[in-house]
C-alpha cells in the first residue's frame, strides 16, 4: 500500500519527492514492446519522462510496427523470451488470452486507484475481458469517420456545409463528385482481405440493424450491397479490394477520393500534407434504422505470461494512463481510452479531435472472441466475393454465416 502511494505521487509529477524518499537500489528494467514508431510520438515522450522520473524502474522500449505485433508476440512466446509489457491490437486479446499467453490483471486493476473502470470507454474496456477475466488494460483507442475533401464536394455541386447524414445521401453525394474515368471517386473505403477490411465494413453491418448472427437477413445484405454498388457504379475504385486504409488516405490526400473512411491516426500527416479544405463527418446512418455504430480500434497494454517484472510492468501501465500522460495521446493522432481527458485546446484543428472523441460513444468492439481471426476472415471473403461479382451479396453472406455460426456457438459474443 505504501508503495502505491509513492507511485501515485510519482505519477503526479513529484519526482524529487519520490527520488528522495526511496532507498537506493538497482533499478528494475521493464522491457516494453510498443508501437510508437516516430521520435516525436507522445508514447515515446511518456517513456522518456518515466525514465527521468523513476530510479527504481526503468523502461527499455522497443518499437514494433502495429501490423507485426501479433507475429512478434508469437515469436517471443515460442522462444520463451517475452517482454514484460506489450501493446497489442484490441481484438487479439481474446485469442492470446484464450490460449493462456497473457497474465491476468483483474486483481491488480481492481486494487489500483488510477485505473477505475469508470474512467474508461465501455467498449474499449470490453476488449480486455475474456470469459469474465481481465487480461489487459485499454491504452489508446481510435475510431472511424469520413474525411471529407470540401473542395471536391463544392466542385460537384454539393454544399459542404450540408454533409451526408444517411447512406442514401452519402451515395448521392458520391455520385455527384465521382468521375471514375478520370480516377476521381466519391468514396474511399478499404475492402482488403485483411483485418482492415473487416474493421471498415463491420460498422455498416451494425448500422443496418443486423449482426453476426443475422448475416443472411435483408439488412445485412443491404449493408454489403451498399459497398458493391459503390464499386460497380464507379463511386469507389476497384482498387479498394487491395488497398489498405493508409493507401486510401493517400488517394484522398492526392485529391482522388472525396470522402475517405479512416481514423485519427492519419491526422498528423494530414495536417502536414493536406492542400485543400477538409473536415471530418460522422459515419452516416441508415435512414430507416438510425443506428449509430462505428469501429473501435487501438491497442491495449498486456503483460505476457512469463514476464519477469510483472509488478513493475503494471506500474508502467498506471503511469501511462494517468491524466497527464493520457492527454498527450491526441498529438500523436490517437485517443486515450480514458474519458476524463480532453484534447488540449492548443492542438491545430482541435475540433477534429473532438469530433473523433465524440464518436467513441458509438464505437463497438470486434469480439471479444478467440476465434475472431476466423470470423474476420469469413467476413473479408464475403465482402470480396460480392464486390468482385463472384457471388451475389446474399450468397456471399450465407457462406460466411455458415462458417461463423459454429464459431459463435463455441464462444458467444455479447451484443454481436
Return the half-sphere exposure (C-beta side, CA atoms, 13 A cut-off) of residue 86.
30
CA distance 9 to 52: 15
CB contact at 8 A, 8 and 113: yes
Per CB under 8 A, does 80 bind another protein?
Answer: yes
Q: Return the number of the residue (95 or 208) whose C-beta is nearest another protein.
A: 95
Per CB under 8 A, does 104 bind another protein?
Answer: no
Candidate ranges 25-33, 147-155, 233-241, 347-355; the one touching another protein (CB under 8 A): 233-241
- Least Å from the CB of residue 399 to another protein: 10
Q: Distance of alpha carbon 167 from its chain centroid, rounded? A: 23
Q: Return the number of the residue (357 or 385) whose C-beta is nearest another protein.
A: 385
12, 17, 21, 74: which one contacts another protein (CB under 8 A)?
Answer: 74
Contacts of 52 (CB under 8 A, 6+ apart): 15
CA distance 183 to 180: 5
CA distance 8 to 93: 27
90, 128, 207, 237: which one contacts another protein (CB under 8 A)?
Answer: 237
Candidate ranges 55-63, 125-133, 237-245, 337-345; the one touching another protein (CB under 8 A): 237-245
- Least Å from the CB of residue 296 to another protein: 20
- Least Å from the CB of residue 134 to another protein: 18
381, 397, 400, 413: which one contacts another protein (CB under 8 A)?
Answer: 381
Classify burial at 306, counting beta carbons within 10 Å of its beta carbon; exposed 0-12, middle 13-18, buried 19 or more.
Answer: middle
Per CB under 8 A, does 194 bind another protein?
Answer: yes
- Least Å from the CB of residue 369 to another protein: 13
Per CB under 8 A, does 302 bind another protein?
Answer: no
Span 238-277, contacts to another protein by CB under 8 A: 238-242, 251, 254, 256
CA distance 88 to 153: 38
- Locate 41 and state its grid cell: 510520438
What is the spatial order of strands in the sheet that 278-281 belongs to? 185-188, 257-262, 145-149, 278-281
The H or E element spanning position 400 is helix 393-410
Q: Return the number of the residue (322 or 387) whose C-beta is nearest another protein.
A: 387
Per CB under 8 A, does 229 bind another protein?
Answer: no
The H or E element spanning position 261 is strand 257-262
Q: Return the number of the residue (13 or 183) whose C-beta is nearest another protein.
A: 183
DSSP string for 92-141: GHHHHHHTT-B---HHHHHH-STT-GGGB-HHHHHTTEETTEE--EEEEE
Per CB under 8 A, does 403 bind another protein?
Answer: no
Binding mask 130-169 for another protein (x = CB under 8 A): ----------------------------------------
Angle, helices 245-253/195-207, rounded to nearest 10 degrees: 80
Q: Which residue has the cell 500534407?
A: 273
193, 339, 342, 395: which one contacts another protein (CB under 8 A)?
Answer: 193
Candidate ranges 103-111, 177-185, 275-283, 284-292; the one touching another protein (CB under 8 A): 177-185
Q: In DSSP terms, which residues pair with 349 in a beta bridge? A: none
Candidate ranges 289-297, 317-325, 338-346, 384-392; the one touching another protein (CB under 8 A): 384-392
The H or E element spanning position 222 is helix 218-232
Contacting residues toward another protein, per CB under 8 A: 70-71, 74, 77-80, 95-96, 99-101, 180, 183, 185, 192-195, 237-242, 251, 254, 256, 306, 373-374, 377, 381, 384-385, 387-388, 390
Amino acid at each position: 500500500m505504501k508503495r502505491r502511494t509513492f507511485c501515485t505521487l510519482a505519477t503526479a509529477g513529484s519526482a524529487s519527492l519520490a527520488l528522495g524518499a526511496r532507498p537506493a537500489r538497482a533499478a528494475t528494467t521493464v522491457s516494453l514492446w510498443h508501437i510508437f514508431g516516430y521520435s516525436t510520438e507522445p508514447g515515446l515522450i511518456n517513456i522518456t519522462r518515466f525514465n527521468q522520473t523513476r530510479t527504481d524502474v526503468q523502461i527499455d522500449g522497443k518499437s514494433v510496427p502495429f501490423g507485426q505485433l501479433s507475429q512478434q508476440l508469437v515469436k517471443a512466446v515460442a522462444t520463451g523470451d517475452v517482454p514484460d509489457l506489450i501493446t497489442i491490437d484490441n481484438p487479439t486479446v481474446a485469442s492470446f488470452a484464450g490460449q493462456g499467453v497473457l497474465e491476468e490483471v483483474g486483481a491488480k486493476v481492481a486494487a489500483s486507484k488510477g485505473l477505475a473502470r469508470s474512467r474508461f470507454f465501455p467498449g474499449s474496456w470490453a476488449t480486455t475481458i475474456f470469459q469474465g477475466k481481465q487480461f489487459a488494460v485499454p491504452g489508446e483507442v481510435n475510431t472511424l469517420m469520413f474525411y471529407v475533401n470540401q473542395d471536391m464536394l463544392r466542385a460537384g455541386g454539393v454544399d459542404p456545409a450540408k454533409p451526408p447524414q444517411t447512406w442514401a445521401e452519402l451515395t448521392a453525394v458520391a455520385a455527384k463528385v465521382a468521375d471514375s474515368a478520370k480516377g476521381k471517386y466519391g468514396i474511399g473505403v478499404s475492402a482488403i482481405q485483411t483485418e482492415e477490411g473487416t474493421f471498415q465494413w463491420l460498422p455498416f453491418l451494425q448500422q443496418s440493424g443486423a449482426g453476426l448472427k443475422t448475416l443472411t437477413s435483408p439488412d445485412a445484405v443491404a449493408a454489403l450491397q451498399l459497398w458493391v454498388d459503390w464499386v460497380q457504379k464507379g463511386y469507389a475504385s476497384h482498387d479498394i479490394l487491395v488497398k489498405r486504409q493508409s493507401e486510401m488516405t493517400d488517394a484522398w490526400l492526392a485529391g482522388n477520393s472525396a470522402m475517405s473512411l479512416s481514423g485519427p491516426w492519419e491526422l498528423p500527416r494530414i495536417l502536414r500534407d493536406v492542400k485543400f479544405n477538409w473536415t471530418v463527418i460522422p459515419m452516416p446512418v441508415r435512414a430507416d434504422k438510425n443506428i449509430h455504430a462505428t469501429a473501435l480500434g487501438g491497442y491495449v497494454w498486456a503483460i505476457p505470461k512469463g514476464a519477469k517484472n510483472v509488478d513493475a510492468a503494471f506500474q508502467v501501465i498506471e503511469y501511462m494512463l494517468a491524466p497527464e500522460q493520457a492527454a498527450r495521446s491526441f498529438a500523436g493522432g490517437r485517443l486515450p481510452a480514458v474519458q476524463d481527458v480532453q484534447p488540449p485546446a492548443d492542438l491545430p484543428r482541435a475540433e477534429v479531435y473532438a469530433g473523433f472523441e465524440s464518436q467513441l460513444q458509438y464505437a463497438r468492439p470486434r469480439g471479444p472472441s478467440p476465434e475472431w481471426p476466423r470470423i474476420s476472415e469469413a467476413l473479408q471473403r464475403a465482402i470480396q466475393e460480392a464486390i468482385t461479382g463472384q457471388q451475389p451479396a446474399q450468397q456471399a453472406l450465407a457462406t460466411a454465416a455458415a462458417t461463423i455460426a459454429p464459431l459463435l456457438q463455441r464462444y458467444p459474443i455479447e451484443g454481436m
